[in-house]
Structure 1
Amino acid sequence: MKKLVILLLTLAAGQQGLAQGHYTGSSFNPNDYFAPHAGLIVPVWYGYANMDYHNAQGKKSDQLINPKPGNPTSLDITQNVKTHSFILMAIYGGKGKVLGANWGMMLIPTLNSPTAGIALDYYSQQTGSGRYHFKNKSIGFGDMYIQPVWLSWQQGNMQYAVNYGVWAPTGRYKPNDLDNGGHGYWSHNIRAALKYKPTPSINMSIAPTLEINHWQKDTDFKEGTHLTVDLGGSYVWNKRGDEVGLFGHYTKQISDDKGAGGGSFVADQMAGIGGFISYWVVPRKVGLMGRITQNFATENRFGGLAMQTGVNFLIPTDKH
């Protein structure tokens, strides 16, 4: 049975006025855009990230440029934000075929400490000059990801997939509040993926994701659409299925924000590169995973280093 890993959610938390969307690139390992074989997968993960604000020129900065009417030209900020996330996932691989494809579903509730996104929201809403500090240490539920459409077709050494998921605003959201745990709006993720296996042990994949956002609760703001391209490869070095791999992504905002709450802000972008390793403690039943990602080419948002570690539990529903 294929193993699935964490969807990175260390940046998935409440934002307003200067939001960044829900989906973060390099969130999956290269094989994980494709529906698993029949069974239930329960990953339990912890994530840590250390983020700094980068301005529209891509440089680390303690000044948040904010041209919104009524706000100062710039704010001096304490721009380093460390985040913690705890994630319990439920991944189901269905039996049989749907439209000739393997199929599955995914559910991801999240528990977050204040994230870089919340800090950016907080800074962007200030209306007076001076130095602003982000010190909230609370923890609470974030938004939930639900992926009801997950189809994968295989033809020779090629595999194709179509995914549709939605981010539900289950996390607490109140405009300009440090205790926010969610974005306050719905987002749709539409993804296509392609995988090529030149040998039985080597996998290479590419997966573009389009994220379309709704209007934010209790504000006059709608985050622009983002396009993310993920790509990577992995190598399985033994019959147990232990695996090592590299991945990368590029995310670009492709439409303007709307509304008085953020329509004048510069579009954001970010790229990243990272790697992972997985090891089966009990083959095909209990596995350990570690990941690390370094962001670069970051503009008008927070970016930095992210690390995750956790355990995957697999419960097969067939004998294969």
Structure 2
Amino acid sequence: MKAKINDSEKIAQSVLTIMLLLISFYSNAQLKGAHILGSMGLQSGTQAPENTLSVYIPGYIYSASSLRNSDGDKVGDPNLTMFLTGVGANFVSDFKILGANYGATLLIAGASNTIQGSYIDSKSDFAFTDMYIQPIQLGWHNKRADFVFSYQMFLPTGKYEAGGSDNSGLGMFVNEFSGGTTLFFNDKKTFHFSALASYEINGKKKDTDIKTGDILSIEGGLGKTFYCMNAEKTAPKGILNAGLIYYLQYKLSDDEIPVGNIFVIEPDKDHVNALGAEVNYLHIGSMTNVGFRWLGEVNAKNRFQGNTFFITLAHVFSLKKK
């Protein structure tokens, strides 16, 4: 009889231990949002010129070098690199709304090793990922400052299955609102500082009650514009933009992660800061732009910390009537 009691006690203790480990696992988990940090840098508060169509190919690489806990201490070496690329287009018209030029953006992309959250070290092959659509983009241009406002959506078009190790998407519909400015410190607008704030509202993940908390991202930079003159020094042949860039991201509401019939209360919401550099060059003759950004993350809590690289190749088509 005593042996049966001891066996029952051992089983109960094992179940309790597993439950505690599971709750501990999820209580330190943080879910990733859809916003791609590093996609904006210098002059993030400036819209492209009116009557232009820019077709671009982005190359996004995020290398997670460490996993940080709620105290910012290193607790793991994920050795995980996410890659994203695709084809995008940005259109800016001369149509005015409230004095601003109307524009729109679309990005269709694929990704490998899509990062779902700080608790998943999944590795997946390159596959079609979530689609980015920005149906509303408004831009104002003043003598010493530009302003932008936009609304964008992330559509859950990538593969997603709860608990899957090969997901290429995040499995959730995302609404995001952005607003920002670029301030110019001289009349020629060659010395500038920018900041763009984006607020991300995440829906529930596909076929689950899991919900990522709302996220605030701030991106921008301090830079200088240089005009590269032709041999006769009569006109510029190219425009070079270079400077320091940054981003900050803060989760403002708790993730909702059900374990059984309860929702786990997380100890701290995740956040991260980053500082880096950007250089981009527009060749006026061919209207082709090449850009490169690098940002090193610091002060990460409850998330990965690493390096972000963003390479962009774009061609700008003029839509002005001749």
Q: CA deviation at 1:282?
A: 4.9
| Pick aligned residue for 1:56 from 67, 70, 84 | 70
| Pick aligned residue for 1:47 from 56, 60, 65 | 60
1:264 aligned residue: 265
Q: CA deviation at 1:83?
A: 2.0
Asked if structure 2 preserves the Cα contact closer than 8 Å seen for 1:36 and 1:103, the reply is no
What is the rounded CA distance, in whole Å, between the counterparts of 1:28 and 1:319 in structure 2?
A: 30
- Could you report, residue by residue, the CA deviation over 1:105-164 in whole angstroms, capped at 9, with x for unpaired residues? 01112211113x2374535xxxxxxxxxx4x34110111111111111223212222111
Q: CA deviation at 1:26?
A: 3.4
1:198 matches 2:185 = yes
Look at both structures and tell me which one has the larger radius of gyration over its CA atoms: 2
1:23 aligned residue: 35
SS in 2 for 1:89: strand
1:157 aligned residue: 144
| Pick aligned residue for 1:212 from 201, 204, 217 | 201
SS in 1 for 2:116: helix
1:146 aligned residue: 133
1:101 matches 2:100 = yes
What is the rounded CA distance, in whole Å, between the counterparts of 1:108 and 1:139 in structure 2?
A: 16
Instruction: Provide the alpha-carbon RMSD of the alignment.
Output: 2.1
Asked if structure 1 preserves the Cα contact closer than 8 Å seen for 2:38 and 2:309, the reply is no
Q: CA deviation at 1:242?
A: 1.5
1:234 aligned residue: 223
Q: CA deviation at 1:259?
A: 4.3
What is the rounded CA distance, in whole Å, between the counterparts of 2:157 and 2:265 in structure 1?
A: 28
Count the aligned residue pairs. Answer: 277
Q: CA deviation at 1:59?
A: 2.1
Asked if structure 1 preserves the Cα contact closer than 8 Å seen for 2:150 and 2:178, the reply is yes
Say which structure is richer in helix: 2
Q: TM-score, normalised by structure 2?
A: 0.80
Structure 2 unpaired stretches of 5+: 1-28, 228-235
Q: CA deviation at 1:31?
A: 1.8
What is the rounded CA distance, in whole Å, between the counterparts of 1:141 and 1:288 in structure 2?
A: 24
What is the rounded CA distance, in whole Å, between the counterparts of 1:30 and 1:253 in structure 2?
A: 24
1:307 matches 2:309 = yes
1:250 aligned residue: 248
1:175 aligned residue: 162
SS in 2 for 1:242: strand
Give the ranges of 4+ consecutive aligned residues of structure 1 lying more than 4 Å apart after TM superposition.
Answer: none
What is the rounded CA distance, in whole Å, between the counterparts of 2:265 and 2:117 in structure 1?
A: 19
- Could you report, residue by residue, the CA deviation over 1:2-54 in whole angstroms, capped at 9, with x for unpaired residues? xxxxxxxxxxxxxxx63121114432022244322211101112232210221
Q: CA deviation at 1:316?
A: 0.8
Q: CA deviation at 1:81?
A: 0.5
Asked if structure 1 preserves the Cα contact closer than 8 Å seen for 2:140 and 2:148, the reply is yes
Using a 3 Å threshold, how does the CA distance of structure 1 residues 188 and 263 change in structure 2: closer, same or farther? farther
Q: Letter of the aligned partner of 1:215 in structure 2?
A: K
Using a 3 Å threshold, how does the CA distance of structure 1 residues 215 and 243 change in structure 2: closer, same or farther? same
Structure 1 unpaired stretches of 5+: 1-16, 63-77, 124-133
